[in-house]
Amino acid sequence: MMLTELRDRIAFVADPRVVLVFVLALGIGSEFASGSTVQLWSFVLINVLIAQSINLLTGVAGQISLGHAAFLGIGAYTSALLMKTWGVPLPVALVAATLLSAAAGWLLSFAAGRVREFYLAMMTLGFGMIFYELVREWTAVTGGVAGLSGVPAPSLKTLSLNGYAMGPVAYFQFMLAVTAVVMWQLRNFQTSTYGRAFFAIHASEVAAGSIGVARVGTKREAYTISAALTGLAGGFYAHLVGYLGPESFGLHRSVEALVMAVVGGLGSLSGPVLGAIVFTYLPEKLQFFADWQFMVYGLLLMVSFVLLPKGLAGLLLPRSRYIKASAQTGAQKLADKNSGIRSPAAPVTSETSGAALLVAKDIGLSFLGLRALDGVTLEIRPGQIIGLVGPNGSGKSTLVNVISGIYRPGAGTVTFDGKPISGLFDHEVARLGVLRTFQDPRLVPAFTVRENVLLGMHRLYRQGRVAAALNLPSAHREEAEMLERVNEALALAGLTALADMPVKDLPYGDQRMTELSRVLVADPRVVLLDEPAAGLSEGELVRLADVIRVLKGRGVSVVLIEHHMDFLDDLVDDVVVLDAGKMIYQGGMEGMYRNPAVIAAYLGREGRPEVTHA
């Protein structure tokens, strides 16, 4: 409790205005500091960039790299050689270093699209090793083991910008300004839909796909941006030290980068800063550290994973925000202005209307010889609710997975709005407005209810990445509008009081309602609900039914998997009954109760299923 109080009390350090004052104070302070202090703080800045880069990749996007030293090296050698050999101006050399490293990260990311976890870690390790050997052997360019000296550097009085000689203090201030801008960009990114998509991929790739986030593209983006940041750090490093040798880019550097980010705290922007400060000071102040460095790093990694899973930042600072506070205020203003005059998003239709919107025809799918689905057909019109029932293991979830693009059907086709969708990826199906929930809720655990629901709107955002990164007024306005709609959905689902709670602290029923709201806000046209009532309280069941009726009222087609017949009686227009992958009944509820096949397979003589939730 005391720690929580302390954390709240120092929450102000993350305020952008406080950060700005701190940055200015550092810049001015460097004029009066000793040469060695300025040097040390210059290293802190470089380490901040490296740790942020690891954080973005690992802490935010959940991807692994054991070869980040290579990106540092690519940046360092690029900037050093461009300036030393061709006399390219410093800013151009640094931009080139950033871009070349980004390109390398982009290439490496193709591996991340194909392999995962352990194998990916090994691949990045291999990448780092190859780079290290390349630097040692390519003597003509890198100087080999003898290294590359004479790199323009402030300490040698050989670095200039725009014709002015740049001393160590001016170089520090230059790096400080650039790092501050980078941090501001990262902050905007983390609180934008693109940044939140990284967290979604981290938490569950399948869930991310279900809200329209492309997993391969997002991972590629994460590697590219992360490599760019470390490449920039490499450029800074080259000119700070004036000499590059292969030993600066070996495995220990990659490990050091990981340790900084992990011990500082993954998943937040302040964690990497804390990590960078600690791990620049420690080796400097503790001389014995040099000999035992690798061992100490190893120990710290082990200890922090066990004792401090969220690092120093998790211990000392309040949780990060993933929505801009200003956007939340904007949403409130919009709500006040619109109160009473707002109409529902789509025209209300009480009748089911028109031709079928979604048709899954003759679907077949086998898992290693097991016929999970065999000639199943499901048609649904706008505003229609279809109950999908059957014993456990009869293929209900599999049918939802086929429609939502997680599985390709072995036979048959799925069409939406007259166009085939059974060849599309799950995120492409989601972007069309065919949305689903999961049998076990899949949310971003560290996100609040509001942040999780906002994720559902990912497919509706119109702003580009640049507008998001610069936080342009148009992007800001859009964010406020999205949040206002999120607040409406939360009210409908009865989640308003819990909106700012991290979902991992909430009971199962609230998590289910959060996932349902994530679909509700996304302007769906078809909604597939996989046992949404499982584990809900009486009150929550009423809310669930309300939400489903609102969807119907908006003309949305709803497929509802459910075992409670009372719940279905009140809601559905028709039912489809599956048994062992085959469709044994299709039609109204009344007919179903009298159908011998359904009674035999599912309902029993009581007229109620003997199988309940697994």
Interface ranges with ligand ADP (CB under 6 A)? 367, 370, 372, 390, 392-398
CA–CA distance, 100 with 435 (Å, rounded to integer) = 39
**Do residues 227 and 104 lie in contact, with contact meaning Cβ atoms separated by under 8 Å?**
yes
Please report how close the Cβ of residue 131 comes to ligand ADP at its closest, in angstroms.
Answer: 39
CA–CA distance, 61 with 198 (Å, rounded to integer) = 5
- Which partner from the list Mg ion, ligand ADP, none does 395 bind, CB cut-off 5 to 8 Å by kind? ligand ADP
**Do residues 487 and 496 lie in contact, with contact meaning Cβ atoms separated by under 8 Å?**
yes
Q: Which of residues 416-445 bind Mg ion (CB under 5 A)?
A: 439
Is 398 a binding residue for Mg ion by CB under 5 A? The answer is no
- Which partner from the list ligand ADP, Mg ion, none does 42 bind, CB cut-off 5 to 8 Å by kind? none
Please report how close the Cβ of residue 395 comes to ligand ADP at its closest, in angstroms.
Answer: 4
Reduced to 3 states, what is the DSSP secondary structure of residue 420? strand
* Residue of this chain nearest to Mg ion (CB atom): 397
Q: What is the DSSP letter of 554?
A: T
Nearer to Mg ion, 84 or 396 (CB): 396
Nearer to ligand ADP, 154 or 391 (CB): 391
With 0-12 / 13-18 / 19 or more C-beta atoms within 10 angstroms meaning exposed / middle / buried, residue 56 is buried
How crowded is the C-beta side of 267, counted as CA atoms within 13 Å?
Answer: 22
What are the tokens at 288? 């014995």
Reduced to 3 states, what is the DSSP secondary structure of residue 417? coil
- Which partner from the list Mg ion, ligand ADP, none does 264 bind, CB cut-off 5 to 8 Å by kind? none
Nearer to ligand ADP, 305 or 367 (CB): 367
Nearer to Mg ion, 96 or 399 (CB): 399
Please report how close the Cβ of residue 105 comes to Mg ion at its closest, in angstroms.
Answer: 39
Please report how close the Cβ of residue 561 comes to ligand ADP at its closest, in angstroms.
Answer: 7
- Which partner from the list Mg ion, ligand ADP, none does 372 bind, CB cut-off 5 to 8 Å by kind? ligand ADP
Residue span 539-578 as binding mask against Mg ion, x where in contact by CB under 5 A, dash where not: ----------------------------------------
- Which partner from the list ligand ADP, Mg ion, none does 367 bind, CB cut-off 5 to 8 Å by kind? ligand ADP
Nearer to ligand ADP, 245 or 581 (CB): 581
CA–CA distance, 140 with 120 (Å, rounded to integer) = 32
Reduced to 3 states, what is the DSSP secondary structure of residue 588? coil
- Which partner from the list Mg ion, ligand ADP, none does 382 bind, CB cut-off 5 to 8 Å by kind? none
3-state secondary structure 64-88: CCCCHHHHHHHHHHHHHHHHHHHCC
The residue range among 65-73, 392-400, 402-410, 521-529 that interacts with Mg ion, by the rule CB under 5 A, is 392-400
- Which partner from the list Mg ion, ligand ADP, none does 398 bind, CB cut-off 5 to 8 Å by kind? ligand ADP
Nearer to ligand ADP, 522 or 561 (CB): 561
Please report how close the Cβ of residue 236 comes to Mg ion at its closest, in angstroms.
Answer: 53
Nearer to ligand ADP, 444 or 572 (CB): 572
CB neighbours of residue 89 within 10 Å: 14
Please report how close the Cβ of residue 374 comes to Mg ion at its closest, in angstroms.
Answer: 17
Please report how close the Cβ of residue 540 comes to ligand ADP at its closest, in angstroms.
Answer: 21
Please report how close the Cβ of residue 398 comes to ligand ADP at its closest, in angstroms.
Answer: 3
**Do residues 265 and 313 lie in contact, with contact meaning Cβ atoms separated by under 8 Å?**
yes
Nearer to Mg ion, 413 or 439 (CB): 439
Please report how close the Cβ of residue 336 comes to ligand ADP at its closest, in angstroms.
Answer: 44
| Count, residues in the chain | 614
Nearer to ligand ADP, 136 or 582 (CB): 582
With 0-12 / 13-18 / 19 or more C-beta atoms within 10 angstroms meaning exposed / middle / buried, residue 497 is exposed
Residue span 346-385 as binding mask against Mg ion, x where in contact by CB under 5 A, dash where not: ----------------------------------------
Nearer to ligand ADP, 61 or 429 (CB): 429
Nearer to ligand ADP, 230 or 397 (CB): 397
CA–CA distance, 413 with 375 (Å, rounded to integer) = 11
Name residue 559's beta-bridge partners: 386, 528
Nearer to Mg ion, 332 or 439 (CB): 439
With 0-12 / 13-18 / 19 or more C-beta atoms within 10 angstroms meaning exposed / middle / buried, residue 233 is buried
- Which partner from the list ligand ADP, Mg ion, none does 305 bind, CB cut-off 5 to 8 Å by kind? none
**Do residues 500 and 449 lie in contact, with contact meaning Cβ atoms separated by under 8 Å?**
yes
Is 397 a binding residue for Mg ion by CB under 5 A? The answer is yes
Nearer to ligand ADP, 47 or 397 (CB): 397
**Do residues 449 and 490 lie in contact, with contact meaning Cβ atoms separated by under 8 Å?**
yes
Please report how close the Cβ of residue 429 comes to ligand ADP at its closest, in angstroms.
Answer: 18
Please report how close the Cβ of residue 580 comes to ligand ADP at its closest, in angstroms.
Answer: 8
CA–CA distance, 242 with 232 (Å, rounded to integer) = 16
- What is the residue type of 151? V
* DSSP states along 556-577: -EEEEE-S-HHHHHHH-SEEEE
- Which partner from the list Mg ion, ligand ADP, none does 242 bind, CB cut-off 5 to 8 Å by kind? none
Please report how close the Cβ of residue 388 comes to ligand ADP at its closest, in angstroms.
Answer: 8
Q: Which of 112, 138, 125 is nearest to 218 (CA)?
A: 112
- Which partner from the list ligand ADP, Mg ion, none does 352 bind, CB cut-off 5 to 8 Å by kind? none
CA–CA distance, 117 with 120 (Å, rounded to integer) = 5
**Do residues 357 and 557 lie in contact, with contact meaning Cβ atoms separated by under 8 Å?**
yes
CA distance to 102, 112, 113, 114, 427, per residue, from 216 (Å):
17, 8, 5, 9, 11
- Which partner from the list ligand ADP, Mg ion, none does 394 bind, CB cut-off 5 to 8 Å by kind? ligand ADP
Q: Which of 471, 68, 86, 123 is nearest to 251 (CA)?
A: 68
Q: Which residues contact 420 (CB under 8 A, 6 or more apart)?
A: 413, 414
**Do residues 213 and 61 lie in contact, with contact meaning Cβ atoms separated by under 8 Å?**
no
Is 109 a binding residue for Mg ion by CB under 5 A? The answer is no
Q: Containing H/E element for 386?
A: strand 385-389
CA–CA distance, 447 with 179 (Å, rounded to integer) = 27
**Do residues 104 and 70 lie in contact, with contact meaning Cβ atoms separated by under 8 Å?**
yes
- What is the residue type of 47? N
- Which partner from the list ligand ADP, Mg ion, none does 270 bind, CB cut-off 5 to 8 Å by kind? none
Please report how close the Cβ of residue 393 comes to Mg ion at its closest, in angstroms.
Answer: 8
- Which partner from the list ligand ADP, Mg ion, none does 92 bind, CB cut-off 5 to 8 Å by kind? none
- Which partner from the list ligand ADP, Mg ion, none does 254 bind, CB cut-off 5 to 8 Å by kind? none
Residues engaged in binding Mg ion (CB under 5 A):
396-397, 439
